């Protein structure tokens, strides 16, 4: 399909689509590309909101140049059931209104077919409503599907809580790409090669996208999902502090039962 038609296609909009695939063991991979990823893709220095250097990415660092290359490969990859989420609105992450929009930027670089495209914010964004939908579906899943094995690649801070619905953890440090990417990639790839029909969740920034790409290329026997910071609420920790105030606010706005889901969550966290 001509990429000019991207604006007129029906994107996957509801996280329930992916949870239905998980329930059916309809194997797939999902990667999501946002504003920070764009800077890495362009090999530009990461800046924080106060315009100071963000050490998460340095275009003069050889390791980070390799990350940019690997991330571009993950974005350009096309395969059935390899889903790509990308931002469809907004200008340059640096606020440069003369730069091409996120939509224009990603459209030029995506080779995947429209049926496998979604919004990067399908699990995160829209002032918390996406997170609430994600969490509702996730807790319904773990309550009803007791045979599903879930593995999670996440920051080492999570080890303090260690939710017991996780079969296997792959802990990473801040700046994991520079510090221990080879060890981590090998560990996750080895596990994926030995199992079938398991769900791998990833909360590890750009490294997650690179790894999901590699996994889907080599082991289409499991499900690999980039969930980002969707669980930050329950660990009361996030690089984006405003995320932590969303749940109750959104629960009130969409007439949801935050307390109900919070209690379910607590049952799955080791004391």
pLDDT, tens digit, 9 for 90 and up, residues 178-221: 999 999 999 999 999 999 999 999 999 899 999 999 999 999 99
CA atoms of 65 and 40, how far apart (whole Å):
9
Burial letters 25-54, b for 16+ CB under 10 A, else e: eebbbbbbbbebbbbbbebebbbeeeeeee
**Where are the domains positioned within the chain?**
12-267
Q: Best-predicted range by mean pLDDT among 58-62, 72-76, 231-235?
A: 72-76
pLDDT at 231: 75
pTM for the model: 0.84
CA atoms of 201 and 48, how far apart (whole Å):
26
pLDDT per residue as tens digits for the range 4-58:
456 666 778 788 899 999 999 999 999 999 888 888 999 887 654 444 334 467 8
Of the candidates 161, 179, 177, 181, the one whose C-alpha atom is nearest the C-alpha of residue 169 is 161
Contact 177, 206 (CB under 8 A): yes
Q: What is the largest CA-CA distance in the chain?
A: 54
């Amino acid at each position: 399909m001509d990429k000019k038609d991207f604006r007129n296609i029906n994107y996957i909009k509801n996280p329930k689509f992916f949870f239905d695939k998980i329930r059916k063991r309809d194997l797939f991979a999902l990667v999501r590309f946002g504003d920070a990823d764009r800077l890495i893709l362009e090999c530009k220095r990461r800046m924080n909101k106060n315009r100071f250097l963000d050490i998460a990415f340095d275009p003069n660092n050889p390791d980070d140049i390799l990350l940019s290359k690997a991330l571009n490969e993950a974005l350009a990859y096309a395969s059935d059931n390899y889903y790509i989420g990308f931002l469809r609105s907004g200008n340059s992450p640096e606020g440069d209104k003369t730069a091409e929009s996120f939509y224009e930027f990603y459209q030029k670089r995506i080779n995947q077919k429209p049926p496998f495209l979604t919004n990067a914010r399908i699990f995160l964004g829209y002032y918390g409503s996406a997170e609430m939908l994600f969490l509702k579906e996730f807790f319904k899943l773990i309550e009803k599907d007791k045979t599903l094995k879930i593995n999670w690649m996440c920051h080492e801070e999570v080890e303090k809580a260690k939710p017991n619905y996780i079969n296997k953890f792959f802990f990473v440090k801040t700046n994991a790409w520079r510090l221990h990417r080879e060890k981590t990639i090998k560990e996750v790839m080895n596990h994926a090669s030995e199992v079938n029909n398991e769900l791998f969740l990833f909360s590890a920034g750009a490294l997650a996208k690179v790894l999901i790409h590699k996994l889907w290329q080599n082991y289409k026997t499991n499900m690999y999902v980039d969930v980002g910071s969707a669980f930050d609420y329950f660990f009361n920790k996030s690089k984006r502090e405003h995320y932590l105030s969303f749940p109750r606010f959104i629960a009130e706005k969409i007439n949801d039962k935050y307390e109900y889901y919070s209690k379910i969550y607590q049952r799955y966290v080791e004391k």
